[in-house]
Every structure is written in structure tokens, then in C-alpha cells.
């Protein structure tokens, strides 16, 4: 295990019927901007509850943050924050709204060059300050509610950014606010959270027992309660476990002191940018094929994954690994996710363009060891046809 610092200041307010506690968490004299997406929070009454809880405070609204949030849309919110001297941003939605709000928090402190926030890769954005923000989560998936990351679409490409300045001050995790989600969004969320754990866990052995066992616990919980939540809207106990798993999958804890492999995400982001396929779905297409391609490279951890996560005890090591990858793919399929590119009408020409776009973005040395080249990406995608 490598040296690490771990710091996560986000207060989690977990459970049903707690939105009235918003009043205790934002300064009484704050001017608040509530940011949300295409309207689900308005349609299903969440916005009214939030406004009631904010009481006498001056509250402004910014609606229309789209899935895979667009730079141009967010710049309208930046102008509003600057013109109105907003003190606090409240994101109400899924990853897109939370990520978009983080971008606004940083960009509103700048007068120019806002797009440069997006050009630092996984190095911290060199900003000195941000408007404070909080979140009300309506879609468990990304972990954005308890981390420093955001992903913004700019010129038809997805750009990640990170800054400790945008840790949410608090995040509300109320399973009741997720009951209106269409089934396929639950599926996307389960796949996304699962693959967040995998990209931090399924690398090389590093004798990081706590991280490994936390990860295995999260994966097992998602395998158990993800499908229940997908099938059954009444099982709140399962939904609570799914929700906390999704947050815990990407709040930094399981990734400390270990190698990480974000290849599946980097390939998936390009698929979303090019074909508009939802984030979680792109990952579920790429991962099984990537694991088969990297079977030798990841052998030790794949075997551990087979034995400890899928409880596979019979057969040779190779058979166990193959069975674990097959079970992973079938798990995504059981959530109604098709894991073949042909289903999305993506052909050989599209694969060539996708790989060329990754090259333009400088994504040429992926994985925990930096040796996953674009030739290998091509093989992975051809195998996923």
C-alpha cells in the first residue's frame, strides 16, 4: 500500500423525510440558487419541499441542466450567480446536476477563461476559491455527492475536472426521492457504482486489505440489492443499501493508497460523447470485454474477485476467472442492459472514429500501469461487437 492522505468533509444526511433539515445547514441570510435538470424535481414535488425548508431565504432557480451537462448551459448559471451575488448553490438531481453545479461553483469566481477549468485532466483545477454548494441526490449512481469530481461536455467531448474546493458541504440521501426514477436509470446507477468499485479494486495485488474488503463488500451489496431495487419499487431497505453503496463507491475511501484503472470510464466517456449512450450503459458494454482482454495482466486480482465476490470455488484458476467475467456480464444483462455494441448500431467505422477521438484527447496510455494502448482499446471494442 502506498502513502496517502484522506480527507472528506462532506456531511451526509441519510434517510427518509429529512429535507426539513436543510434549514439547519445553510446560513439564514444566504442567497441560495437551486439548480436542477429537465424538470423531474419539479414534477414530483421535491422542489416544493426544498423551498418550504429554505423558509424566508432569498431563493433563485436555475432549471435545464441536461444529462451530460453542457458548458454553454452552465455558463448561463454562472452569469446568474455573478449578477445576483449568490452565496450558496444547491444541486437537486443526479450526477449531471451535481457535476454542473460544481463547475458553476468554480467558474462563478472567474471573469474569463472558464473553459480552462476543464483542461487539467485529473490534476486539481488551479482555482483559489469556489462558491459553497450542497446536494440533494435524486439518482444514486455517480458518487458526485461526496467527491471532488465533475464531468462536463464541451465541444462535443467529455472533460473531467477535480478540485477539493467543490466537496459538497452536505448531501441529502433520501431513498424516497429516487422512487420516481425510471427502471433503466436504476440499472445505469447500479452499473456505474459497480464499475467505480471495479476500477479501483481490479488492478494489481498491493496487500491493501481494508480497501479490498471494503470493495468486495460494496460489490456484493450491489449484486444483492441492485437487482431488487431495479425490480421492486417497494423495497426501501434494499434501496437504502444501493444508495449508500453508490456514494461509498466513489467517495475516495476505497481508492486510497492503491493503483486505479479508469480505462473503462475513459472509453465509455467517448462512447457517450459520440453516440449519446447513457454513462452507466457504456461502462457495462466495455468492462466485460476489457476484462477478457486483460485477463493475464489482471490475473491475480481477477482470481480474488472470482472467489471472494462471486464465491466461485470450483474449477481451475482460468475457469474461475472466465466464470467471474461471464457472471459480471450476465449481472448487467439482468438489469436490462445490452452489452453488445451492435445493439447500438456501432460499426467498425465508428470504432475507428472513437479511437481517433481518444487519441486527440491524449488518452493513449490507459490503465493502472499505463500500458493499455489504443490498439488494445480497438481490440476491446471489436470484441464487444
Residue ranges that bind ligand NZQ, judged by CB under 6 A = 37-41, 67-68, 93-97, 99, 138-139, 141-144, 147, 149-151, 158, 177-178, 180-181, 185, 188, 192, 250, 265, 279
Q: Does 70 bind Zn ion (CB under 5 A)?
A: no
Q: Is the dihedral of CA 60, 64, 69, 73 positive or negative?
A: negative
**Residue of this chain nearest to Zn ion (CB atom):** 192
379 neighbors 385 (Cβ within 8 angstroms): no
Q: Is 293 in the site for Zn ion (CB under 5 A)?
A: no
Q: Which is nearer to ligand NZQ, 321 or 372 (CB)?
A: 372
The H or E element spanning position 329 is helix 317-334
Beta strands in 6-147 (DSSP E): 11-14, 32-36, 59-62, 88-93, 133-137
The residue among 74 and 351 lying less far from ligand NZQ, judged by its C-beta, is 74
Give whichever of 88 and 159 is closer to Zn ion, judged by the CB atom: 159
Q: Please state the closest distance from residue 197 (CB atom) to Zn ion, in A.
A: 11
Least Cβ distance, residue 158 to Zn ion (angstroms): 11
Size (the chain), residues: 385
Report the partner that residue 178 touches, choosing among Zn ion, ligand NZQ, none (CB closer than 5 to 8 A by kind). ligand NZQ
The item of Zn ion, ligand NZQ, none sharing an interface with residue 149, based on CB under 5 to 8 Å by kind, is ligand NZQ
Nearest to residue 281, comparing CAs of 174, 156, 195? 195
- Distance CA(232)–CA(65), nearest Å, equals 29
In the complex with ligand NZQ, which residue's Cβ is closer, 141 or 309? 141
Query: Binding Zn ion by CB under 5 A: which of 70, 99, 192, 293?
Result: 192
For 51, counting Cβ atoms within 10 Å of its Cβ (0-12 exposed, 13-18 middle, 19+ buried), the class is middle
Considering the complex, state which of residue 177 and residue 306 has its C-beta at the smaller distance from ligand NZQ.
Answer: 177
- The answer to whether residue 199 forms part of the interface with Zn ion (CB under 5 A) is no
User: Distance of CA 380 to CAs 331, 367, 374, 385, Å?
Assistant: 19, 13, 10, 9
Amino acid at each position: 500500500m502506498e502513502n496517502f492522505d484522506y480527507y472528506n468533509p462532506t456531511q451526509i444526511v441519510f434517510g427518509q423525510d429529512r429535507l426539513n433539515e436543510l434549514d439547519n445547514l445553510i446560513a439564514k441570510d444566504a442567497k441560495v440558487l437551486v439548480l436542477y435538470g429537465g424538470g423531474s424535481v419539479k414534477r414530483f414535488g421535491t422542489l416544493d419541499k426544498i423551498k418550504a425548508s429554505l423558509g424566508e431565504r432569498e431563493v433563485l432557480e436555475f432549471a435545464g441542466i441536461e444529462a451530460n451537462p453542457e458548458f454553454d448551459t452552465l455558463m448561463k448559471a454562472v452569469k446568474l450567480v455573478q449578477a445576483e451575488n449568490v452565496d450558496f448553490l444547491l444541486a437537486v438531481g443526479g450526477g449531471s446536476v451535481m457535476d454542473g453545479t460544481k463547475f458553476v461553483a468554480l467558474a462563478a469566481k472567474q471573469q474569463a477563461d472558464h473553459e480552462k477549468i476543464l483542461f487539467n485532466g485529473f490534476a486539481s483545477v488551479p482555482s483559489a476559491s469556489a462558491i459553497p454548494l450542497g446536494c440533494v441526490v435524486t439518482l444514486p449512481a455517480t458518487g458526485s455527492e461526496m467527491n471532488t469530481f465533475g464531468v462536463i461536455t464541451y465541444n462535443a467531448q467529455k472533460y473531467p475536472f477535480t478540485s477539493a474546493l467543490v466537496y459538497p458541504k452536505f448531501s441529502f440521501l433520501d431513498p424516497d426521492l429516487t422512487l420516481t426514477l425510471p427502471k433503466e436509470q436504476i440499472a445505469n446507477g447500479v452499473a456505474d457504482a459497480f464499475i467505480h468499485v471495479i476500477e479501483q479494486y481490479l488492478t494489481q495485488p498491493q496487500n491493501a486489505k481494508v480497501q479490498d474488503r471494503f470493495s468486495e463488500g460494496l460489490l456484493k451489496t450491489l449484486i444483492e440489492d441492485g437487482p431488487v431495487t431495479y425490480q421492486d419499487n417497494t423495497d426501501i431497505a434494499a434501496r437504502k443499501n444501493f444508495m449508500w453503496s453508490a456514494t461509498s463507491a466513489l467517495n475516495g475511501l476505497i481508492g486510497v493508497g492503491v493503483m486505479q484503472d479508469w480505462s473503462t470510464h475513459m472509453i465509455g466517456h467517448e462512447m457517450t460523447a459520440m453516440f449519446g449512450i447513457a454513462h452507466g450503459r457504456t461502462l457495462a458494454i466495455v468492462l466485460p470485454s476489457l476484462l477478457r482482454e486483460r485477463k493475464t495482466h489482471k490475473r491475480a486480482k481477477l482470481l480474488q474477485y472470482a472467489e471472494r465476490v462471486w464465491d466461485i470455488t470450483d474449477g481451475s484458476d482460468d475457469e474461475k476467472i472466465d466464470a467471474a467475467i461471464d457472471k459480471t456480464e450476465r449481472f448487467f444483462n439482468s438489469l436490462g442492459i445490452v452489452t453488445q455494441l451492435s445493439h447500438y448500431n456501432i460499426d467498425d467505422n465508428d470504432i475507428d472514429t472513437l479511437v481517433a477521438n481518444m487519441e486527440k484527447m491524449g488518452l493513449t496510455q490507459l490503465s493502472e500501469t499505463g500500458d493499455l494502448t489504443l490498439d488494445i482499446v480497438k481490440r476491446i471494442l471489436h470484441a464487444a461487437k
